[in-house]
Amino acid sequence: MSRVFVLTNHKRGVGKSTCGTTIALGIAGVLRRAGAANARVLLIDTDSQCHVMLVTNVRNAYNAEDRLYAMLAADRPNAAQTMAKCIVPS
């Protein structure tokens, strides 16, 4: 059974990315320790600052144009291929 958690706030700097990352890592750890078969956690950050990339250590692998926010804000024909590259296994 899938679960979806959404963290949102109109203000900047209130900890959305930090909380989201902590929750995602915590859920992944619990599932791993429980031996859940095919357990996966998907963390999506639509913030223009993209702080999840900083916390998860994938910052240097992608440039500013490859961020989801940039994909959503611009018309990019290769958006699907770029987003597929951003998937980091948990």
Structural domain contains residue 69 = yes
Structural domain contains residue 7 = no
Helices (H) and strands (E) in the chain, counts: 4, 0
Query: In angstroms, how far is CA 35 from the centroid of its own chain?
Result: 23
- What domain range includes position 66? 16-85
Structural domain contains residue 6 = no
- Each residue's pLDDT tens digit, 61-74: 556 566 666 666 77
Structural domain contains residue 5 = no
Structural domain contains residue 38 = yes
pLDDT above 90 covers a percentage of the chain that reads 11
Question: In the predicted model, is pLDDT for residue 36 greater than 80?
Answer: yes
Question: In the predicted model, is pLDDT for residue 33 greater than 90?
Answer: yes
pLDDT at res. 85 = 72
Structural domain contains residue 36 = yes
- pLDDT band of 35, cuts 50, 70, 90: very high
